[in-house]
Amino acid sequence: MMVSDIMQKRFGIMKSGVLVLCVLLALTGNGCTEPDTEKVIPDACPDLGLLVTQADVTDTLDPYGRPIVTGNVFPASAKAIFLVFSLSDDMCCKTLNVRWFQNSQLDPIQIEDNLHAQFPIKLTLRAPAEGFMPGEYHVSIYVDLWERLSLPFVII
């Protein structure tokens, strides 16, 4: 007797056919793998909740670019004021901008746009040749058009 005759007597014609089909599919591998699908990049931006997690203003940095002394009062004799900050995540589809302001003026005294630096980010406001003018200053960090953090400081 042939195998098909034994299967038909044991399982019946319909069940035997299904069993043979399953065995053939398992042997050839057809229908057992996931179909090829096109990789789709999501439209949603993963950095929508991007936050400034650490930010310091200082006039002195260690050799690794980290603030030595942080605060918000600096002497007019300082050669530069540094902003050192980190973000909660890497950016992929947002724009990072920083604006330095003096004495509550509307126009910034220095603009740093489209920053794409390694983290933490270190930015510098250099003193003019005659030194910093005493007064109130602040530096603002923007992600796209929204201000995420503003740090006030004073030059005396």
The number of folded domains in the chain is 1
What is the structure's pLDDT at 40?
Answer: 58
Q: Is the pLDDT of residue 4 over 90?
A: no
Summarize the confidence of residues 121-132 as an average pLDDT.
92
Structural domain contains residue 15:
no
- Predicted local distance difference test score (pLDDT) of residue 52: 76
For residue 70, tell me if it sits in a domain.
yes
Question: Is 18 a member of any domain?
Answer: no
Span of 12-26, 113-127, 128-142 with lowest mean pLDDT: 12-26
3-state SS string for the chain: CCHHHHHHHHHCHHHHHHHHHHHHHHHHCCCCCCCCCCCCCCCCCCCCCCCEEEEEEECCECCCCCECCECCEECCCCCEEEEEEEECCCCCCCCEEEEEEECCCCCCCEEECCCCCCCCEEEEEECCCCCCCCEEEEEEEEECCEEEEEEEEEEC
Q: What is the pTM of this model?
A: 0.64
Question: Residue 103: pLDDT above 90?
Answer: no
Specify the pLDDT at position 137: 96
Residue 4 lies in a domain: no
Amino acid at 53: T
Higher pLDDT, 46 or 94: 94
Which of residues 143 and 16 earns the better pLDDT score?
143
In a domain, 106, yes or no: yes
Higher pLDDT, 39 or 23: 23
Residue at 33 is within a domain: no
Q: What is the mean pLDDT of the chain?
A: 79
pLDDT tier at 117 (50, 70, 90 boundaries)?
low
Position 8 in a domain: no
Find the domain containing 90 and state its range: 52-155
Select the more confidently predicted residue: 94 or 63: 63
CATH code for position 65: 2.60.40.1930
Q: Is residue 103 part of a domain?
A: yes
